[in-house]
Amino acid sequence: MTRRPLPTPPLDAEVFGRWSEVFARFMGTAWFIVGMTVFVIVWLAWNTWAPVTLQFDPRALNYTLLTLILSLQASYAAPLILLAQNRQADRDRVAFEQDRQRAERNLADTEYLAREVAALRIALRDVATRDFLRSELRDLVGELEAGAAAAAAKAGSGDRTRRGKTKG
């Protein structure tokens, strides 16, 4: 006789994971703490001061049912909270990896742009700028004016010598 495995209900891990996160988030709220406190106070008050015939978890038995319920709640809460933390850790790992890749791309882009700026600076050293051209033209105009003045002075002295030779 062969054993057949018990049928397992279909369980979507993603849906269960989301549910555990909702549960874990709810357990971490002030409403949950207040609600649990009110629940325990009402439970204890009822089972302490209500008529004995109406008590369902008497004080004489040290509130056994309340202890059982709280233990059951804790035994389910701990794994659900761990599951939610594991899912959050997985999301954090993915986000960290994406941030790392984005940082690597930004670094590569920055290095590329730095190389391009350096290449432009090197190329601009060989290009005549407006200020450079103006200074060169001023120097050239100055040289031309000095040359014209020298030529005029030479021409003026040459006229005097020629005039002196014609007279004499």
Phi, psi of 110 (to 5 degrees): -65, -45
d(CA 12, CA 54): 43
Structure tokens at 39: 């629940």
d(CA 105, CA 99): 10
d(CA 16, CA 82): 13
Q: Which pLDDT belongs to residue 92?
A: 96
**76 is a domain residue:** yes
136 and 90, same structural domain?
A: no
Instruction: Tell me the chain's radius of gyration from C-alpha atoms.
Output: 48
d(CA 129, CA 135): 10
d(CA 165, CA 168): 5
What is the pTM (predicted TM-score) of this model? 0.54
d(CA 2, CA 43): 50
Q: What is the pLDDT of residues 141-168, one digit of tens each?
A: 999 999 999 888 888 776 655 555 555 4
**5 is a domain residue:** no
Q: What is the pLDDT of residues 96-152, one digit of tens each?
A: 999 999 999 999 999 999 999 999 888 877 777 788 889 999 999 999 999 999 888
**23 is a domain residue:** yes
Longest dimension (CA), the chain: 161
d(CA 135, CA 143): 12
Q: What is the pLDDT of residues 42-52, one digit of tens each?
A: 999 999 999 99
Axis-axis angle for helices 64-125, 13-27 (nearest 10): 100
140 and 90, same structural domain?
A: no
Structure tokens at 91: 């999301």
140 and 91, same structural domain?
A: no
Domain count, the chain: 2
Domain holding 147, by residue range, is 131-168
**153 is a domain residue:** yes
60 and 135, same structural domain?
A: no
**26 is a domain residue:** yes
92 and 22, same structural domain?
A: yes
88 and 23, same structural domain?
A: yes
Which residue, of 78, 96, 114, is where some domain finishes? Answer: 96
140 and 70, same structural domain?
A: no
Q: What is the pLDDT of residues 57-98, one digit of tens each?
A: 988 889 999 999 999 999 999 998 899 999 999 999 999 999
Structure tokens at 121: 């600076």
